[in-house]
């Protein structure tokens, strides 16, 4: 493993500008996904962490130097809960001409307050990178700790054990690259264990989470390595930092999982002819997992995918239950799930925006008081937006008013992309400043009209 210890001097951008991107797979109803993808993907976790010690929410996103540049910058910044201010964001990594937000990062904060940014690589063509802040609670400088073969970084921390790192590697598949799931651990973020394979049967996308000593992941399956046909739900957890893995009911799993019919299977959506897009994993008060995802009838955009729905599948300690939250109009209408004292809250772009069949839409808060069995629309967060709002992300330890954050962007052609955050009610929505003349700015209320974009 390379360990270059390269010092990264702070380079700041004079505003919060998200990366715009399109996959380039065009269909009758638009690109498979496109728009403001600064907070993409669901498989980069976490995108934000609240530090009680420093009273700041640190966050990372895929940025751009100017509104007309498809040039990816891995950005990091924070919201100061004491002052309500944000600084000019810092470039942790310039991807040097790469425009693909699959290279976005994840962020973590250790007990001392050091900020870690885990930058995704892409297969073996671009290596994953791990950076650490030079000072606790600060983004004024970073050191490059190591380069690793890592895509889709998902990093969790335990106060005694250290870092638990889930990620993806690529191998050759039948109809394209096959994405296989791995994990590794570290006590200090510098020295890492060997890579351990979790699953590898034709391909997977995973979303993970952490509750106390439990690290859990749920993932889908790509038959014949075709990720547009992603289907099924599988779940695995470990409570001993990866020494053993089990199903939700404690049955030991023999790793790596190498067959679609393995014991980790939770829902056989392939038998129903449905596809699955993973969004978020949270836990109830007992530490039981709750899985949030979009379930659809087609992998491409458009009404042929209806019914297309946000769903939760939860473990009650004895069996799994699946419930529908709401309809939605696009497979990549990614959002987040929050569980607090019996109240379940989902913040998702479930309402059709300016482009109803494009990625994202208008953001809505849905709540459940009966463990996900029934859901009520609690708050329309955005309305009358100029662009679709996309990929609503949940900070670890989310604290008002920086409770969820996301980006927006035009879905059919390149545009500027702004970044926003809201509180837990969804009634207070703020814009991160697109242009900054001063080093610190107060976040300002979002204006939900079509006149405030550059």
Assess if residue 401 is contained within a domain.
yes
CB 125 within 8 A of CB 49: no
Which of 269, 265, 321, 336 is closest to 296 using CA atoms? 269
Mean predicted confidence (pLDDT) in 81-103: 96
Assess if residue 72 is contained within a domain.
yes
Assess if residue 1 is contained within a domain.
no
pLDDT for res 5: 45
Q: Is the pLDDT of residue 382 over 70?
A: yes
Which of 381, 386, 373 is closest to 451 using CA atoms? 386
Query: Which one is predicted more confidently, 308 or 160?
Result: 308
Task: Grade residue 448 by pLDDT with cuts at 50, 70 and 90.
Answer: low
Assess if residue 321 is contained within a domain.
yes
Q: Is the pLDDT of residue 452 over 80?
A: no
Assess if residue 96 is contained within a domain.
yes
Q: In this predicted model, what pLDDT tens digit does every residue of 158-204 receive, in sequence order?
A: 988 999 999 999 999 888 889 999 999 999 999 999 999 999 999 99
Task: Grade residue 2 by pLDDT with cuts at 50, 70 and 90.
Answer: very low
Which value, to the nearest 10 degrees, does the dihedral of the CA atoms of residues 240, 241, 244, 249 take? 60
CB 441 within 8 A of CB 375: no
Q: Is the pLDDT of residue 372 over 80?
A: yes
pLDDT for res 444: 84
Among the ranges given (9-13, 58-62, 281-285, 339-343), the one the predictor scored with the smallest mean pLDDT: 9-13
Q: Which domain holds residue 351?
A: 6-445
Assess if residue 299 is contained within a domain.
yes
pLDDT for res 99: 96
Task: Grade residue 428 by pLDDT with cuts at 50, 70 and 90.
Answer: very high
Residue 102, SS3 per DSSP: helix
pLDDT for res 9: 61
Find how far residue 339's CA is from the centre of its chain. 17
DSSP annotation of 12 reads B
Which of 289, 306, 374, 292 is closest to 334 using CA atoms? 292
Q: In this predicted model, what pLDDT tens digit does every residue of 203-234 receive, in sequence order?
A: 999 999 999 999 999 999 999 999 999 999 99
**Residue-wise DSSP of 35-78:** EE-TT--TTSB-SEEEETTTTEEEEEEEE-SSTT----EEEEEE
DSSP annotation of 401 reads T
Residue 230, SS3 per DSSP: coil
- Mean pLDDT (the chain, rounded): 94
Task: Grade residue 97 by pLDDT with cuts at 50, 70 and 90.
Answer: confident
CATH of the domain at 282: 2.130.10.10
Number of domain units in the chain: 1
Assess if residue 129 is contained within a domain.
yes
pTM of this prediction? Answer: 0.96
Assess if residue 451 is contained within a domain.
no
């Amino acid at each position: 493993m390379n360990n270059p210890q390269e010092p990264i001097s702070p380079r700041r951008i004079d505003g919060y500008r998200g990366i715009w991107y399109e996959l380039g797979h065009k269909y009758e109803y638009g690109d498979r996904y496109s728009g403001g993808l600064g907070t993409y993907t669901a498989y980069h976790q976490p995108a934000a962490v609240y530090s009680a010690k420093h009273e700041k929410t640190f966050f990372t996103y895929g940025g751009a130097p100017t509104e007309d540049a498809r040039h990816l910058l891995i950005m990091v910044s924070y919201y100061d809960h004491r002052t309500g201010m944000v600084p000019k964001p810092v470039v942790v990594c310039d991807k040097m001409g790469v425009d693909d937000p699959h290279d976005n990062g994840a962020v973590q904060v250790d007990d001392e307050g050091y900020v870690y940014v885990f930058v995704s690589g892409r297969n073996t063509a671009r290596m994953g990178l791990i950076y650490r802040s030079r000072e606790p609670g600060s983004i004024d400088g970073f050191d490059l700790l190591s380069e690793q073969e890592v895509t889709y970084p998902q990093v969790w921390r335990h106060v005694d054990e250290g870092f638990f790192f889930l990620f993806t590697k690529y191998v050759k598949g039948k109809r394209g690259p096959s994405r296989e799931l791995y994990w590794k651990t570290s006590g200090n973020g510098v020295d890492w264990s060997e890579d351990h394979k979790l699953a590898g049967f034709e391909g997977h996308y995973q979303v993970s989470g952490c509750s106390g000593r439990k690290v859990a992941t749920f993932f889908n399956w790509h038959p014949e390595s075709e990720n547009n046909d992603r289907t099924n739900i599988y779940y695995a957890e470990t409570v001993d930092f990866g020494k053993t893995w089990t199903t939700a009911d404690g049955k030991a799993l023999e790793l790596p999982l190498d067959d679609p019919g393995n014991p980790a299977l939770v829902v056989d959506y392939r038998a129903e002819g449905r596809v699955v897009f993973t969004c978020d994993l949270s836990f109830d008060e007992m530490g039981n997992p709750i899985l949030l995802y979009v379930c659809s009838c087609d992998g491409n955009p458009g009404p042929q995918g209806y019914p297309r729905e946000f769903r939760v599948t939860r473990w009650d300690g004895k069996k799994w239950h699946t419930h529908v939250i709401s309809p939605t109009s696009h497979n990549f209408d990614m959002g987040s799930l929050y569980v607090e004292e019996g109240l379940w809250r989902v913040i998702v772009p479930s309402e059709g925006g300016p482009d109803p069949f494009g990625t994202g839409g208008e953001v809505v808060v849905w709540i459940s008081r009966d463990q996900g069995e029934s859901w009520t629309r609690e708050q329309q967060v955005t309305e009358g937006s100029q662009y679709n709002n996309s990929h609503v992300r949940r900070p670890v330890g989310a604290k008002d008013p920086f409770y969820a954050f996301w980006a927006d962007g035009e879905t059919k052609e390149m545009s500027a992309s702004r970044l926003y955050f809201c509180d837990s009610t969804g009634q207070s929505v703020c814009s991160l400043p697109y242009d900054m003349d001063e080093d610190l700015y107060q976040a300002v209320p979002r204006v939900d009209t079509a006149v405030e974009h550059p």
